[in-house]
Amino acid sequence: MQNEQLKPKQILETALYVRDIEEAVQFYRDILGLELALPYNHRNAFFRCGEGVLLIFDARETVKPAPEGALPVPSHGTTGAGHMCFAASREEIARWKQHLEKHGIEVEREFDWPNGARSLYIRDPSGNSLEFAEPKLWNNG
C-alpha cells in the first residue's frame, strides 16, 4: 500500500461568509431547519448537516487575527457570494421549493442537468448561492 496516493476521504466542514450572524442563524436554523452544533456568537455559527458541519462566519470578523487566549485558528475569509449544495432527491427538491416559497424565498433557478439530475438554486440573506441537487449530479446516486 506504499504506492497508494494519500487523499482526503470526505469534506468535514464547509464555510460560508455572511454580513449578519443573527440574520444567518434565523435563515439556516428557522427556514432550512439546520441544528446548531454549538451556541453561536457575533463571529460565527456552526450547523450540523448530515455527517458534515456548515460553518457560518461574519465576513468582517474572520479576517481579524484570533484574540489572545483563543484557539490559534488562522484568519480566513473571502469576498463576494459563496456557493454550497445540499443533497436532495427530486421529490425533496419539489418539497423544498414549496417550503421556500411559503417563506418568501425566491427560487433563482431550477433545471435538469444533461445527466438528468435536478437542481434548485436560492440565495441566503447575504447573497450566497445555495443549491439543492440530486446526488446523481456527481454520479453519487
Q: What is the pLDDT of residues 73-97, one digit of tens each?
A: 888 888 889 999 999 999 999 999 9
- Report pLDDT digits (tens) over 93-119: 999 999 999 999 999 999 999 999 999
The letter for the amino acid at 47 is F
Which residue stretches of the chain are H helix? 21-25, 90-102
CA distances from 36 to 8, 50, 58 (A): 25, 12, 16
Can you give the pLDDT at residue 78? 87
Pairwise CA distance, residues 83 & 51, whole Å: 19
d(CA 121, CA 64): 31
pTM of the model: 0.91
Residue 79 has a pLDDT of 85
Mean pLDDT for 24-29 is 98
